[in-house]
Amino acid sequence: MNESEIYQLLKTIKHPEIKEQNLVDLGMIANMFINDEIINITLALPKLDVPIKNDLIDQIRSAIAQSEKNRSVKVELIEMDPQQRKKFFKLSREAQKNVPIKRKVDKIIAVMSGKGGVGKSSMAGLLASSLRRRGFRVGILDADITGPSIPMLFGLKTKPEASEDGIFPVISATGIKIISINLLLPDSDQPVIWRGPLISKTIKQFWEDIIWDDLDYLVVDLPPGTADAALTVMQSLPLDGVLLVTSPQDLAGMVVRKAANMIIMLQIPLLGIIENMSHLICPNCGHRIDIFGPSKTEKTRELVNTQILGNFPIDPSLAVLCDNGSIEKYSSEILESITSQVIDTVST
């Protein structure tokens, strides 16, 4: 086999997470060296620790070995430089938009924090509820596989039903379509002790195998961090934008900035920042109390060049509604303002 024939062979290997794209067209074959004894392939990856690397190596070796019996096959790994990575993610996003799907979802918005405990899932639930009150057809994909809280926020205990065509999401009290791993477990307290590849596979199944029907908005609740789950969502779903949720402290802001830089690196629109737990209004005198001290969110906004959509206060009434599974009953002026800005931003 000559170099041209090997390249044609490598074009038959599809990227497992980017449908309809092969390794050559994605720019992942960085180099090739051939002599009488060996075929050496240099495979370029966005990051060297991606969970699919061993699968890709096995596929390359297997594909070449079927046609080449006399020479050994060696696969070396290198990390893409910033320009190669930028091109790779651009191609992957374009590919996702061209994949035929069984449902029509107009806008997909991911809610991300980077850091846990800042109220990301609550904000995702509140945004979906506010959109639904305005008459939109709304769904929630709970991508926080190991820490799912969406079902509890909405008081859901019904198990999803399945058909030959896929799985039907559970419907909330106001008509929001929801899927979460906790809706599939026999016990909501059962831990999900999975490695990254299985988590990624489940998230993709939530997108591809759930019968969402037609939606105006799909809100995706991402887990904390910038690892496999977040990367899977950003590569596998044609996102229209990402909302960042933070709290006033600089510690939270530092981690949120990591998430923002991931969004920017993957060339996904950053819709803005919501500062949650911004302050507390005293129920007796109406005085504003900055429980976490002066806000550092403006610093984060400047560093990542985005907008602050709102400063969401600590509201004891919201905590009660969330504990009772009644998040859809909550409404406030700041929530409606944030929702309006999100609608305007993703529509432009």
The 10s digit of each residue's pLDDT in 154-210 is 999 999 998 888 899 999 999 999 999 999 998 888 999 898 889 999 999 999 899
Does position 97 have pLDDT exceeding 80, yes or no? no
- Of 17-31, 92-106, 260-274, 334-348, the one with minimum mean pLDDT is 92-106
Of 35 and 114, the one with more pLDDT? 35
pLDDT for 331 = 96
Does position 94 have pLDDT exceeding 80, yes or no? no
Predicted confidence band of residue 58 (pLDDT cuts 50, 70, 90): very high
- What does pTM read for this prediction? 0.76
**Mean predicted confidence (pLDDT) in 272-289:** 93
Predicted confidence band of residue 116 (pLDDT cuts 50, 70, 90): confident
Predicted confidence band of residue 249 (pLDDT cuts 50, 70, 90): very high
Predicted confidence band of residue 102 (pLDDT cuts 50, 70, 90): low
CA 341, distance to chain mean position in Å, is 21
Query: What gap in Å lies between CA 293 and CA 257, rounded to an integer?
Result: 19
Does position 214 have pLDDT exceeding 70, yes or no? yes
Number of residues written out for the chain: 348
Does position 9 have pLDDT exceeding 80, yes or no? yes
**Architecture, CATH, for domain 3-92:** 2-Layer Sandwich (3.30)
The 10s digit of each residue's pLDDT in 314-331 is 999 999 999 999 999 999
pLDDT for 32 = 93
pLDDT for 178 = 97
Among 138-142, 235-239, 260-264, the range with the most confident prediction by mean pLDDT is: 138-142
CATH number of 102-347: 3.40.50.300
Does position 140 have pLDDT exceeding 70, yes or no? yes
- Find all residues with CB under 8 Å of 345, minimum gap 6, and list them: 241, 269, 271, 272
Q: Phi, psi (5° rounding) for residue 143?
A: -90, 5
pLDDT for 66 = 86
Does position 20 have pLDDT exceeding 80, yes or no? no
Does position 101 have pLDDT exceeding 70, yes or no? no
Does position 146 have pLDDT exceeding 60, yes or no? yes
Query: What gap in Å lies between CA 325 and CA 183, rounded to an integer?
Result: 14
Query: What gap in Å lies between CA 56 and CA 94, rounded to an integer?
Result: 21
pLDDT for 181 = 96
User: How does the average pLDDT of the chain come out, rounded?
Assistant: 90
Pairing verdict, β 215-221 and 138-142 = parallel
Pairing verdict, β 308-311 and 270-275 = parallel
Predicted confidence band of residue 285 (pLDDT cuts 50, 70, 90): very high
Nearest to 236 by CA among 334, 343, 99: 99
The domain spans of the chain are 3-92, 102-347
Residues of the chain with pLDDT > 90, as a percent, come to 65
Query: What gap in Å lies between CA 129 and CA 186, rounded to an integer?
Result: 27
